[in-house]
Structure 1
Amino acid sequence: MQSPTFRPDIAALRAIAVAAVVLFHFGVPGINGGYVGVDVFFVISGFLMTGIVTRALQRKTFSLWGFYRARAERIMPALAVLCLVLAVLGLTVLDPMTAREIGISILATLTFTSNILFWSQDGYFAPGADAQWLLHTWSLSVEWQFYFAFPIFVMLIWRIDFLRRRFGAVMIAGTVLSFVACAAAGMLGEGAVKTSFFLLPFRAWELLLGGLVACYPLLFSRMSSPLVITTGLGMIVVSILVFDPTTIWPAWNALLPTLGTALVIWAGGRWDGWSNLPGVQRIGAWSYSIYLWHWPVVVGLAYLGLRHNVAAIVGGVVGSVLLGALSHMTFEVRMRKRLFGRTGRLAVTSALAGLAIPLGIGAVAASTNGLEAPRIAHLSPEIKAALRDYRAATSDRRYPADCVGGKISEGLLAICHIGDPSARDTLIIGDSHAQQLTPRVSQLFENRPGGVTLVTRGGCPTLPLVNLTTPGNNCADRNRAAFDYALTQPYHHIVIAAFWSGYVEPAQETGVLQRKLCFVTSSGCRTPLDEAGYLAQVDRAVDRLGIELKRLKRAGRQITLVLAVPYAFSNDPRRLYAETFLTRRLVAPLGIPRDQMTAPQRRLRDRLIAMAGAAGVDVVDPRDTMCGARTCPSTDDGRVIYMDNNHIRSTMVVRPEFAYLDRDMIPEHQGSR
């Protein structure tokens, strides 16, 4: 095993890793793959922990309790303070909805299950990720779970002489098994990719790879070490610059930064010129605290609407480093000595008290809607009613509860039956804008024979040969399967409903077109960098949709294309809730101009209508029943209509103004347009 002495090269690797993560999260151009810094941290941790455990076992001085205590000393003080600060901030400054979410995250973070919590939600690269104040703690949970299981695993091996003498081979086997599972998950679609991103069994190979370096130290000469280190650093830097959020991660490609890290550690610190550059060792020493505090700064900027403000970003990066330095000196060093420098029961009592306070406040925030009732008690009845309605709206979604048995079939096709599962009257294909129709469909068939089937995938563009730029979504294959299903099953009527305008949606902060889609080619899925090229590819995708619809028409299907509901740009109930609470005045949703859309959105709308006309497809415009001559309302009987800025609430979609598809779904009216 390699020496346990201090390694400046490892501190420098930590500096590179935390710099990559911080710059990536703040959106600094060029650092598109900065998230690989976490993978670098994993390899480092695996190397250090394997050395600590095996050396102690060889000396017969290993204590499982001592190991856990040492890890807690390292991790807990600064983490507990961060959670305490966020809990207090949530309950005194931020709105109650945000405070509740912070409370839930604190409970998961301090029990080291936050990776499981965030795995059950939207994912690391999801659009709303910058509203999760403790999202970054998923990696700490993975590490702590490894810290908990790994020494027990090694102790068991150490008791079996045959395995102990082949410990390196056992480590290799574990590394290979975990890596194969991770690489396989990368080929199985969005859900599997998210699972491999967050959960330890699929990440263990990165930590075990570091452990292999400890098991098989290579003694490079002073002549060869610079070349080995330069190669390893180059692999890490290439990963940071070449990979991006569209990369399926982690998968086999994670070998690049992890093997690069292993090479640098393997070189044994025999060339230290690079690691002693000005500031590198300090950043390395502060890296844990910088990592802890930078993400809440990112989320705070997003909360204030400053996510894309250059001055705020620069201030955020500098502030994160300063907070990290202060946290390291105050909490990692001084508080650590005060809490854990004691002995026996006093040390345990101090540590438990340090955990109990943020856990208790987090539990209060999580269980009381962020103390909403007392915090809004002084407001007028009108404002209180609005706040409660806005909060209710954000979770007012019944899909898939309205499906038969409350379930959808899993796999490439997510199939939901409403009414008679054997009925083949109407098939709805689309995304979450098709899913939002389920309460109305359920109401229509409550006392009527027949049924409707939905084949949908939330977030997936309903266009042939098109994927999202987020990794692992597999939308193109899902769409191919959906249209093949429509052709092979004897449905009389096919409805296509999607959030078309979202494909050419501008960023609210900047107004710049978001290029959310990539277009499948023989060389992979590509996203044009220029707006004109991107819109041209969208046009071609619409043309391909027209070809699919003509194919269905020739097979005798009646087809209806549903345009997007009006886009409520500034009427997101979550935003209305926060602004109403923070300003202590009613921030009501505004009416939506009937023709409110950007030039790219209008262009896509016109293209869809023209395509439908050429294919002989009926077109339904939700505005015809939702809107007046000039304005589309955002409220109904004093209740907000939308659950976010583009989806209709489930309790609203059953109202008369959303009857635009009723005739298409009821068998006796089909074909009567």
Structure 2
Amino acid sequence: MQYNTSHPILTKENERFRADINGLRAWAVLAVIFYHFEIPWITGGFSGVDIFFVISGFLMAKIIIEDLEKSTYPQRFKLLLSFYFARAKRILPTLIVVCSTLIILGWFFLGPIEYKTLAKHTTSALLFFSNIQLQQEAGYFDISSQEKWLLHTWSLAVEWQFYLVIPLLILFSWTKNSKGKAPTIILGSTLLLSLLAAIYYTTTDPNKAFYIFPTRAWEILSGSLTFFITRKIKPKEKHKKLIEYSGFSLVIFSFFAFNKYSEWPGINAIIPILGASLIIFSERFDSPLTKNIFTQWLGTRSYSLYLWHWPIVATLYFLGSTTPKELLTGIILTIIIGALSYRYIEEASRKFFKKKSPTKIITLILTSLFTVIICDKLIASRKGYPDRLPEKYVQILNEVDNINPRRSECHVSGMMKTPGCTFGGEQIGALVIGDSHAASIITAVENSLPEKKLNVLQWTFSACPTFKGVKQENTACSSFIDWALEKQKELAPQVPVIIMNETSAYIHGFSHGQPPTVYFNKKYTERTPEYLKELRNALIDAACEISKYHPVFMVRPIPEMKVPVPAASARAFLLGKNNGPSISIEEYQERNRLAWEAQDAAHEKCGVTILDPLPYLCRDDKCYGTKDGWPIYYDDNHLSERAAKIISPLFERVFQRPLQTQKSEKLTTQ
């Protein structure tokens, strides 16, 4: 994101320099840095980005309006070009250096797929459409986003898109006689529409709401309207401190009160936006909260600190170095590199540009920009230059794609479609039902079929557990489960049903602190004993409902590795380590205790047979993400096709006795 710390008319030597805004930058950048480096309690530090949006909107309006007041009508287009030229000089030098550094370092350390992705992201960052690119790939808070080296440049793109649109609105609506009324009305109306869009998409498409310009514009426009208000209204001296402290209360509250599961940037984002606007409106130029050596030093360097901090965070994830001590080291390194970047890139380029003509500056910037982009295109066209790295390293990384090739065809995600893929022969030999964990073991079951004429029927739905009466926001999960429980009655009674889910993720959350993703009789914001009881009963009820018609086999939860296994295994290989990521049996047992208890209860109630994959995945009191040096997961928790071959013997038990005998025995136990 662009922080406007040094527009030519907003320097320390200029009387219009706002020390309070510079100090506010320090608060915002620290919040973002502390959040990404996982400092405890700063769970809403990402709202620092929203604060920067307010600052940018305020300063943009200030620059445009004050220059308009000094210009004649024919000079307006030249004024706009001057604004864009100043922005490019400010933003691009450091951004180009960051992107170039990552491309150079990536040559030595990144696998072909990762390197090709980095090149794609570099181009989108330099051309300011990275928010659109990233929105199409994954959510900002998804674990996969930790591997995106330029994830943070989405906000730069949003601001640049704002600069392309909003100054034009101001320019063509401005008249000196109107005293800013027309721009105020237009910007206010646009703000309202943008806020309504943000509220709507935050609940219907959170990923889009987070990234795209139309749902973020209201935050920047809040800063612009704050400028228009300050031209008409000046707070009385006796009220300034109260206004400023009220603003900081809202800002600081947002740092601690929200987390990555909060709806954002909808209604919740109003809190830091209003807080930042109040701080700017108060105009307390000598406030101890903003005008002190610490905040002024950080604020001045905030752009460099922001640009370099995320690549350092991503490096720590890349190395698997995320202990508190290592994260603290990352913060210190960010401060050092940010300070060096400010001195030797930001200040140096500013001094250098003063000596050059606009034509030479534009030529230099464009040459540097397109040199990097051409390199990106070469990297993409050569598929990440796989020959530059050890062959096994590349092969290990490529295990990220070792997925059932029919997954996208057969696995349901989000909206309901009629499932029904079969693997194998023409006669149904078994049904596999569950979430994405069930989808990952389809070929394992297929490999265990006793006869070639038999097949495996797949009914799986992402993040949708096989719990009776389950409900979920914004997906067709409930309809899918209702359909499956009814449809299974039509299958021949001798067909066994294998149920598999990432059950512990619904019990504890897919990541720490996540609120319940499913509900039953009522919605819960926390995992209360009542909620866990409903979940347990729903698991048992679904299994027992199916057991009325078929032999049922439930698979124990798969160990979750916490980190993407192919990438971590490849790094371990480079470092000469034999094993990739692993978790202890104690960790596994603690996380899956409730899931096991519920499955055991289903076994006791209706004779469900339990299948335990741990003997195939764990040894020596640890569960490993690799086997003989090769990843057996394609991410941090889904088994790959390599693992499917390893655990195939687990499912032979399903077919060990004549299927009709199995059904008869089950009916007897009931």
Task: Output the TM-score relative to the length of structure 1.
Answer: 0.80
Which AA in structure 2 matches 1:17? A
Q: Would you say the 8 A contact 1:175–1:205 is kept in 2?
A: yes
User: 1:638, 1:131 → 2: CA distance?
Assistant: 22
Q: Could you report, residue by residue, the CA deviation over 1:554-574 in whole angstroms, capped at 9, with x for unpaired residues?
A: 6x5764433334667899222
Say which of 464, 483, 489 aligns to 2:481. Answer: 483
CA gap 1:570/1:552 in 2 versus in 1, 3 angstroms = closer
Does 2:288 correspond to 1:283?
no
Does 2:142 correspond to 1:115?
no
Which AA in structure 1 matches 2:370? A
Match of 1:642 in 2: 633
Match of 1:242 in 2: 257
Q: Any idea what SS the aligned residue of 2:301 has?
A: helix
Q: Would you say the 8 A contact 1:11–1:281 is kept in 2?
A: yes
Q: CA deviation at 1:369?
A: 4.9
Match of 1:302 in 2: 317
Q: Could you report, residue by residue, the CA deviation over 1:629-662 in whole angstroms, capped at 9, with x for unpaired residues?
A: 9999988999754323542324764789268289
Q: Would you say the 8 A contact 1:102–1:365 is kept in 2?
A: no
CA RMSD of aligned residues (A): 4.3
Q: Any idea what SS the aligned residue of 1:250 has?
A: coil
Which AA in structure 2 matches 1:456? F
CA gap 1:566/1:317 in 2 versus in 1, 3 angstroms = closer
CA gap 1:559/1:326 in 2 versus in 1, 3 angstroms = same
Q: CA deviation at 1:270?
A: 5.9
Match of 1:393 in 2: 399
Higher deviation after alignment, 339-348 or 562-571: 562-571
User: 1:597, 1:619 → 2: CA distance?
Assistant: 24
In structure 1, the gaps of 5 or more residues are 377-383, 468-472, 508-512
Residue identity (%): 27
Say which of 211, 227, 237 aligns to 2:224. Answer: 211
Match of 1:498 in 2: 501
Q: Could you report, residue by residue, the CA deviation over 1:50-83 in whole angstroms, capped at 9, with x for unpaired residues?
A: 2323344443333332222111111111111111
Say which of 118, 127, 138 aligns to 2:143. Answer: 127
Higher deviation after alignment, 282-291 or 619-628: 619-628
Does 2:267 correspond to 1:262?
no
1:231-630 aligned at under 5 Å gives the runs 231-269=246-284, 272-310=287-325, 312-339=326-353, 341-376=355-390, 384=391, 386-398=392-404, 401=407, 403=409, 408=412, 410-411=414-415, 413=416, 416-419=419-422, 428-437=432-441, 452=457, 454-458=459-463, 474=473, 479-489=477-487, 491-492=489-490, 495-500=498-503, 514=512, 518=516, 524-527=524-527, 541-550=535-544, 559-565=552-558, 572-580=565-573, 582-583=574-575, 585=576, 587=578, 598-601=588-591, 603-604=593-594, 606-616=596-606, 618-621=608-611, 623=613
Say how many residue pairs are matched. 629
1:85-164 aligned at under 5 Å gives the runs 85-93=101-109, 98-158=114-174
In structure 2, the gaps of 5 or more residues are 1-8, 11-15, 492-496
CA gap 1:659/1:264 in 2 versus in 1, 3 angstroms = same
Q: CA deviation at 1:524?
A: 4.0
Q: Could you report, residue by residue, the CA deviation over 1:178-216 in whole angstroms, capped at 9, with x for unpaired residues?
A: 11111112222xxx1111011111111111111211233
Q: Any idea what SS the aligned residue of 2:203 has?
A: coil
Match of 2:5 in 1: none
CA gap 1:145/1:441 in 2 versus in 1, 3 angstroms = farther
User: 2:17, 2:348 → 1: CA distance?
Assistant: 20
Say which of 93, 108, 114 aligns to 1:77. Answer: 93
Say which of 45, 52, 55 aligns to 1:44. Answer: 55
Say which of 206, 209, 212 aligns to 1:199. Answer: 212
Match of 1:470 in 2: none
CA gap 1:294/1:464 in 2 versus in 1, 3 angstroms = farther
CA gap 1:591/1:338 in 2 versus in 1, 3 angstroms = closer
Q: Would you say the 8 A contact 2:305–2:338 is kept in 1?
A: yes
CA gap 1:18/1:426 in 2 versus in 1, 3 angstroms = same
Q: CA deviation at 1:102?
A: 2.7
Q: Would you say the 8 A contact 1:294–1:320 is kept in 2?
A: yes
Higher deviation after alignment, 92-101 or 167-176: 92-101
Task: Output the TM-score relative to the length of structure 2.
Answer: 0.80
Match of 1:380 in 2: none
Match of 2:182 in 1: 166
Q: Could you report, residue by residue, the CA deviation over 1:495-519 in whole angstroms, capped at 9, with x for unpaired residues?
A: 5311345668999xxxxx9565648
Q: CA deviation at 1:233?
A: 1.0
User: 2:645, 2:178 → 1: CA distance?
Assistant: 68
User: 2:202, 2:169 → 1: CA distance?
Assistant: 27
User: 1:23, 1:570 → 2: CA distance?
Assistant: 21
Q: CA deviation at 1:465?
A: 9.3
1:49-60 aligned at under 5 Å gives the runs 49-58=60-69, 59=71, 60=73
Q: Any idea what SS the aligned residue of 1:561 has?
A: strand
User: 1:84, 1:54 → 2: CA distance?
Assistant: 36
